[in-house]
Amino acid sequence: MDRLDNTIRPYAWGSTTAIPKLLGAEPTGEPQAEMWMGAHPGAPSRTERGTLVEVIEADPERELGAEAVAKFGPHLPFLLKILAAGAPLSLQVHPNLAQAKEGYEDEEARGIPVDAGHRNYKDANHKPELICALTEFDGLCGFRDPLRAADLMDGLGVDSLKPYVDLLHAHPEDAALREVLTAILAADPDEMAHTVSEAAAACSRLGGDYAPYADIAHHYPGDPGVIAAMLLNYVRLQPGEALFLGAGIPHAYLNGLGVEIMANSDNVLRCGLTPKHVDVPELLRVVRFEAGDAGVLRPEAAPDGEEVYETPIDEFRLSRYVLPEGTVAHDLTRATPQILLCTAGSVRIGEHELTPGRSVFVPAGEKAEVSGAGTVFRATVVA
């Protein structure tokens, strides 16, 4: 069992206080957006045996287990993070596995450098993900009913939004959503900037349901993603609630602290709220134009006090244990690799005392018992 020393990524949208507060550390004044736990080559966790990449490469079957290696290959198939949003992240979607393979092979064949700003596919993997709130957590997830989106836009009283309102009343709804998103992203930049400015002023004046969009516009003035965001469901998660983001589902995290887990991929197609490259044709190929609610997840009770966040994929499985004072030790031994993360209280796992923000890697089959009073998230795979 290895205690993990994890890298904190200083992305501009990160909160300056949330991760330091969790860790019991003094803020540096700089944004601290994500703390990565895993074997992603961009920022692998460090152990006394080397980086987690090196540890796994030295003996994949010992560290990951034969079943996980047979199913996913000799690599840890998930990345666990603590995510702290102090400002909205980009509006984005992720490809499915077939789209990722096709897109990656195409860009490789065309000789586009993997670090090029206009490259869409960094690897050939999909990137389903799950975010579980540790604090109140605001986000956008999936298309709302087109008529509700039309009412939201119409209520701003901005004349240049009227064509979008009219399109959203068309049928079928998937075609209406596609046409409106296409029109927003293809609009003249100067005209769109003026529309966003008018819409932002109206959102600030009206408040209520419009307040999130006023805040988005404050961070991204003139960005067409502000209008695109009105097509999506706004959701506020309470601590312990989660969202699963499958392929093709447009989403953006707005504010809050959470535990995030995803397949080990960097593939992101952006829709807006970003200065980065937006490939509109490829985006429209990947987006699923299906309206529905945000699909808030709550953990389901499993044996021995485990609470599981059920998802339809196998690359990761996230669960938690909420341990009250006086709880007897729980045996967490599994035949698959695990990362165990403390987010509240103080717990002992093997020889390691964990306080909030601290984590350990447990090789497949290695004995792991947890005791103490606190909250522990367990990240593993379904093999």
Supply the residues annotated as catalytic: 270
Tokens linked to 133: 């709130």
Report the sign of the C-alpha dihedral through residues 136, 214, 82, 132, in that order. positive
Tokens linked to 41: 């080559």
Q: What is the DSSP-derived secondary structure letter of residue 15? A: B
For 62-96, the DSSP string reads HHH-HHHHHHH-SS--EEEEEEEESSPPPEEE---
Query: SS3 sequence, 107-150?
Result: HHHCCCCCCCCCCCCCCCCCCCEEEEECCCEEEEEEECCHHHHH
* Dihedral-angle region of residue 176 (phi above 0 means left; psi in -120 to 50 means alpha; beta otherwise): alpha
Q: Which amino acid is at 375?
A: T
Cβ atoms within 10 A of the Cβ of 332, count? 22
Closest CA to 64 of 330, 368, 366, 375: 366
* Dihedral-angle region of residue 363 (phi above 0 means left; psi in -120 to 50 means alpha; beta otherwise): beta
Cβ atoms within 10 A of the Cβ of 64, count? 26
Tokens linked to 344: 């509240």
